[in-house]
Amino acid sequence: MKEFVIATNNAHKVTEIQRILDPLGIRAVTAAERGIDLGDVVEDGETFMDNAYIKAKSAFDKCGLPVIADDSGLCVDALGGRPGVYSARYGGDHSPFHEKIALLLSELDGVPDEQRGAHFSCAVCCILRSGEVIRVEGRCDGSIARRPSGDGGFGYDPVFLVGGRSFASLTAEEKDRLSHRGDALKKLYEALSHRKEEL
């Protein structure tokens, strides 16, 4: 199998990427698995795609192998699109997600159901061994629940509702079909399937 370095420390993301790209004969590996220290990358882009490219280019420069990086986040209508690109840093860089969720729900306290619309966005940047850059984006529209539910997923999944169910309540297959990352990775799959000889 061809190895692609996934520029993340999030094991859940690596698993999602592996599931979707596996049919192409791609094995998703972390930088740590290859003994590569990505260091601290300053994600100071204004968009999800800016940050995805920053991470991908930093990893590619260090390893020279095909790289995939993503940046994603939650955009809440009633909060003017926040937390957006600051989703991972919302409420503090190192605060755990249960605290971020509690902060989000407190900010939405009193907001009626019909005004709790939100969407997840995902930007994926892939740099091939040749240096070619592939950029794709995905989106999933939903709403914010009044309380967390479900035992799966990660991040804001317990409070993001699609069809009345939280992302954390979906099976892996359901989430791949509906999610922003699943949407973006399917587009990446299509792009890579046309470049099999270059992988």
Q: What b/e string do you get for 86-124 counting C-beta neighbours within 10 Å, with b at 16 or more?
A: ebbebbeeeeebeebbeebbebbeebeeeebebbbbbbb
How many Å apart are CA 180 and CA 194, to the nearest integer?
22
- Measure CA 41 to chain center: 16
56 φ, ψ (degrees, to nearest 5): -65, -45
Q: What is the DSSP string of 122-160?
A: EEEEEE-TT--EEEEEEEEEEEE-SS---SS--TTGGGE
Mean pLDDT of 89-104: 93
CB atoms under 10 Å from CB of 137, counted, come to 19
Please state, rounded to an integer, the average pLDDT across all residues of the chain.
92
CATH number for the domain harbouring residue 99: 3.90.950.10
Tell me the backbone φ, ψ of residue 161, rounded to 5 degrees: -105, 135
- Please tell me the distance from the alpha carbon of residue 46 to that of residue 106, in angstroms, as a whole number: 26
Q: What is the pLDDT of residues 142-179, one digit of tens each?
A: 999 999 999 988 899 999 999 999 999 999 889 888 99
Return the structure tokens found at 119.
Answer: 């969407």
Dihedral angle, C-alpha 118, 166, 53, 50, nearest 10 ° = 10
Q: Report residue 110's pLDDT band, with 50, 70 and 90 as the boundaries.
A: very high
Among the listed residues 70, 71, 157, 183, the single catalytic one is 71
pTM of the model: 0.89
List 138's β-bridge partners, or say none.
122
Interval 30-72: pLDDT, tens: 888 888 887 787 788 899 999 999 999 999 999 889 999 999 9
State which residues form the domain around 115.
Answer: 2-198
> Is 109 an active-site residue?
no
d(CA 68, CA 3): 11
Domain count, the chain: 1
